[in-house]
Amino acid sequence: MQNIVNNAGIMDGMQPVGEVEDARWDLVFAVNTTSVMKSMRIAANIFLEQGHGVIVNNISAGGLYGARAGAAYTASKHAVVGLTKNTAFMYADKNIRCNGIAPGGVVTNISSSMKNISEFGAARQHLGLAIMPRAGQPEEIAKLALFLGSDESSFINGQVIAADAGWTAY
């Protein structure tokens, strides 16, 4: 194994912190954060044995800003940003790199994971969606993941790269 891409994720229901239920919070963190950590832990130990490796975490623009989803999703993705940066630092001298991708809106089925959508939260989040230049295609994100896992990106470590058609530039 030379690299790993963590790409699983689910949405919340755009609930602000005052509306989020414990069960939804726990589920979102289990999928979006804890599973990433467990995968990274396994990969790091394999990479230490083989002397090299690359971890790429598909995070989200929601991990960079507060106005892209509800409280649970946003917090879970911010946690993965920190985990990515910490892992990059911890293993930098072991020839193990760790980077993240922060996609904006991408045409996937992730919205099917949304439950109990908050009217208030969805209305607030719509303000952020209004400035999204366009939705991306999964292939566009995959190409960035391939680059980050390749030797061509050997000097890139501990970074979270926005791939969002300029959405986070606003």
Confidence of residue 109 (pLDDT cuts 50, 70, 90): low
Instruction: Give the separation between CA 82 and CA 27, rounded to whole angstroms.
Output: 19
Confidence of residue 129 (pLDDT cuts 50, 70, 90): confident
pLDDT at 119 over 90: no
Contact 126, 25 (CB under 8 A): no
> Domains along the chain?
3-40+52-169 (3.40.50.720)
Q: Exactly one of 65, 73, 91, 170 is catalytic; which is it?
A: 73
Positive or negative torsion for Cα 123, 105, 60, 24: positive
Instruction: Give the separation between CA 101 and CA 61, rounded to whole angstroms.
Output: 9
- Residues above pLDDT 90, as percent of the chain: 68
The H-assigned helical ranges of 62-118 are 71-91
SS3 assignment, position 96 = strand
Give the strand order in the sheet containing 160-163.
Answer: 3-6, 53-58, 96-103, 160-163
Instruction: Give the separation between CA 88 and CA 96, rounded to whole angstroms.
Output: 7
* pLDDT attached to residue 131: 80
Cα-Cα-Cα-Cα dihedral of 81, 82, 86, 87, to 10°? -40
91 is catalytic: no
Nearest CA to 163 out of 147, 153, 154, 114 is that of 147
Instruction: Give the separation between CA 53 and CA 50, rounded to whole angstroms.
Output: 8
* pLDDT attached to residue 1: 62
Round the CA-based radius of gyration of the chain to a whole number and report it: 16
Residue with tokens 């912190």: 17
18 C-beta neighbours (distance < 10 Å), count: 9
